[in-house]
Structure 1
């Protein structure tokens, strides 16, 4: 599955999990949200952040789901370990933070 379709499934699942309609989200047009949830468009990072926060989930959760949607539970757990390890490595080389 493509990352675009994974992201589409993640956005739709998050919205449904919270019981919010496309119209009730109030951050974008229903047409745009529908195109995102069908994988026909890809949001910018700013728009993904806006939509995810309006739904009530962290945008990283939606992205993580997009990459994990076809994985087994064991593979999802391994992916989580990889991401945590890579974040720790990035922090060591982020000169702006230290």
Structure 2
């Protein structure tokens, strides 16, 4: 599945699961933009993802993990395990809370 289509499928699922209409996103984006996301025509920028995810009651990473899992035909758990192993192996720089 194409990445944009996978995102649209995941986004629509979360939107309908939360009983939200496309118009409910008007504070962040227009209905037309939401429609193009759901049809896989556009993909959101990271800033737009940051604004849309809280409206779906999820972390932006949740949308990304579910999108890549849908595209790759794997479960989110399998994908998250891979990410966990990559992070543990590479130990990327970040500021952990003290």
Q: By the TM > 0.5 criterion, same fold?
A: yes
**Counterpart position of 2:18:** 18
Q: CA deviation at 1:97?
A: 2.9
Q: 1:46-70: CA deviations, max 9, x gaps?
A: 1011111122111111111111125
Matches within 5 A, 1:4-83: 4-26=4-26, 27-69=28-70, 71-73=73-75, 76-83=76-83
Q: 1:61-97: CA deviations, max 9, x gaps?
A: 1111111125254xx432221011222334x241x53
Structure 2 alignment gaps of length 5 or more: none
Number of equivalences: 94
Moved over 3 A (4+): none
Once residues 25 and 82 of structure 1 are traced to their aligned partners in structure 2, the CA distance between those partners, rounded to angstroms, is 33
TM-score by length of 2: 0.83
TM-score by length of 1: 0.83
